[in-house]
């Protein structure tokens, strides 16, 4: 008998040679849908960062929402980048010794929030910031500010390069022009789960007395 899952918890289920990430989505307050919910995507990528060797994802809330291997690997790649970046102390503390808190906050927001909830939006936002910073750089005369801006652009370019090579970005790269942060329309093209009954849930509900 399978172990009961609590709301928001997950388990790794072995199906043949494949590890399946099964996430309980009962009463979580948001859609069990990668394509529709930024919060769902963020929570899923966070879990994948802990268990990177997953082949499929299943959300369970009375029905099973199953994302296949190809779709799952797109998020596994993003979770790997997230893991890599948060372990780079110099990345998250950028400009700390220079008192450059504004740029540090931008980088932290991009990595900690946007990368997990809207990786396509993160990619588009990185391109926008890099473009604006390069334009601003041309008018700078203060050597300290020039150096900091060059370091900032270099770091953003590095993160952009990591994202640029992912299957997720490559899949819709030609459609990213004009993409707005928070828009989920491209995710609806990429992600589409197979929805099936959760037979364990159905069996449990059938055992509950009508007057219980």
Alpha-carbon distance of 157 to 151, in angstroms, equals 10
pLDDT in tens, 49-69: 999 899 999 999 989 999 999
- For residue 97, name the pLDDT band (cuts at 50, 70, 90): confident
Question: Can you give the pLDDT at residue 8?
Answer: 55
Query: Are the beta carbons of 41 and 116 closer than 8 angstroms?
Result: yes
Closest CA to 56 of 175, 182, 203, 196: 196
**pTM for the model:** 0.88
- For residue 207, name the pLDDT band (cuts at 50, 70, 90): very low
* Unique residue bearing structure tokens 């931008």: 106
166-192 average pLDDT score: 96
Question: Can you give the pLDDT at residue 96?
Answer: 87
Mean pLDDT of the chain: 90
- Residue 195 pLDDT greater than 70, yes or no: yes
pLDDT in tens, 6-55: 445 899 999 888 999 999 998 888 889 999 999 999 999 999 999 989 99
The region of weakest confidence among 35-44, 91-100, 191-200 is 191-200
* Unique residue bearing structure tokens 């029905």: 63
Q: Give the contacts of 106 (CB within 8 A, at least 6 positions apart).
A: 129
Alpha-carbon distance of 204 to 77, in angstroms, equals 36
Query: Are the beta carbons of 36 and 69 closer than 8 angstroms?
Result: no
What is the number of residues in the chain? Answer: 212
Q: Cα(first)–Cα(last) distance of the chain, in Å?
A: 24
């Amino acid at each position: 008998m399978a172990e009961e899952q609590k709301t928001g918890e997950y388990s790794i289920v072995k199906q043949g040679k494949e590890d399946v990430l099964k996430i309980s989505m009962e009463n979580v307050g948001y859609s069990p849908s990668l394509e529709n919910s930024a919060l769902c995507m963020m929570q899923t990528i966070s879990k994948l960062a802990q268990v990177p060797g997953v082949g499929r994802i299943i959300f369970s809330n009375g029905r099973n929402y199953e994302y296949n291997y190809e779709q799952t690997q797109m998020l596994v790649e993003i979770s790997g980048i997230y893991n890599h970046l948060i372990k780079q102390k110099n990345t998250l503390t950028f400009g700390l010794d220079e008192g450059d808190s504004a740029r540090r906050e931008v980088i932290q927001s991009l990595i900690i929030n946007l990368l997990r909830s809207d990786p396509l939006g993160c990619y588009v936002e990185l391109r926008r910031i890099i473009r604006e910073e390069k334009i601003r750089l041309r008018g700078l005369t203060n050597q300290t500010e020039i150096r900091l801006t060059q370091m900032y652009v270099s770091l953003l370019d590095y993160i952009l390069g990591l994202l640029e090579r992912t299957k997720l970005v490559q899949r819709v790269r030609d459609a990213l022009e004009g993409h707005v942060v928070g828009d989920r329309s491209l995710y609806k093209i990429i992600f589409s789960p197979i929805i099936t009954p959760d037979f364990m849930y159905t069996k449990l509900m059938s055992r509950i007395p009508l007057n219980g």
